[in-house]
Structure 1
């Protein structure tokens, strides 16, 4: 498959626009405009050439207790199948953080799908629980992809 993702930086203006349309976009209470959208920790921001999709990986200490590499944001407004984009993003993350578990949260109340997280399921992820606030926790264990144990962070 031809590579679709381009590596960019936190603050990429096209990605910022996509982020602002994502349901998880954080809004400052005082109304100020944001310049960055990822947050602290190691990060990798991916975008398509047309900036019609973005994927953000983040390695940080998650207050929820989840370990691994977090898909902090995924938004696809383009023509590429979401599951294919996720698989490519997984491959890129595997090169940077080999043997690490991948995880994300999906808010079933805020996605327009009868099957929340389906694109992740189609990419080989699985549902592994819920947060106290009701978010679905989805994961891809590195072991399933030939890596080492998924409990490393």
Structure 2
């Protein structure tokens, strides 16, 4: 991971799609697509409006993306959330949600969770996917049609 000497303070900072440190975190995310021909594009977020957030210690990444969803979801998508820090994931998510709502006031936030790729958190003996999202105020709202991903959503208070 490359060092970012300008990263100081607390919370999230906005970086550009293609930032080396952000991409290094994304490379360890379960949704990272590896091309068969070995190419590694510099940008990693995809089309649409985007907000790439990196914590000042460069140990967590959150990417918000507003685009036309193929399955009809409306709002701003949390496309990537990865926490390798000691901070509680739900606290990081709540602060990232605040930044997203500053950019897109009042918009519905939603995310997809792949239950085959993400291990559940066991809560009172039951498996719970997206536990940090739940703790941050998100709720289950359905399952995607194509890959059967869990869809969770959050609304501004």
Superposition TM-score, scaled by structure 2 size: 0.87
User: Is the CA contact (8 Å cut-off) linking 1:3 and 1:88 kept in structure 2?
Assistant: no
Partner in structure 2 of residue 151 of structure 1 = none
2: CA distance between counterparts of 1:136 and 1:91?
23
For 1:70 and 1:3, the matched residues in 2 are separated by 24
Unaligned runs of 5+ in 2: 1-8, 121-126
| Rounded Cα–Cα distance in structure 2 between residues aligned with 1:134 and 1:48 | 31
Unaligned runs of 5+ in 1: 146-153
CA distance in 1, matches of 2:100, 2:56: 19
Q: Does 1:138 align with 2:145?
A: no
Matched, 1:65 2:78: no
**Higher relative contact order structure (alpha carbons within 8 Å, sequence separation ≥ 6):** 1
Matched, 1:124 2:131: no
The reply to whether residue 101 of structure 1 matches residue 114 of structure 2 is no
Q: How does 1:1-153 map to 2 (within 5 A)?
A: 3-113=10-120, 114-132=127-145, 133-142=147-156, 145=157
Q: Aligned partners of 1:121 and 1:77: how far apart in 2?
A: 19
Q: Give structure 1 regions of 4+ aligned residues with deviation exceeding 4 angstroms.
A: none
Residue aligned with 2:95, SS: helix
Work out the CA distance in 1 between the residues paired with 2:102 and 2:12: 14
In 2, distance between residues paired with 1:4 and 1:72?
A: 19
CA distance in 1, matches of 2:108, 2:17: 22
Residues 94-135 of structure 1 show CA distances to partners (whole Å, capped at 9, x for unaligned) of 111001000000011111223110000000000101012111
Kindly tell me the number of residue pairs found equivalent between the two proteins.
142
Q: What SS does the aligned partner of 2:40 have?
A: coil
- Residues of 2 paired with 1:50 and 1:93: CA distance? 20
Q: What is the TM-score normalised by the length of structure 1?
A: 0.89
Contact 2:50-2:66 at 8 Å conserved across structures? yes
RMSD: 1.2
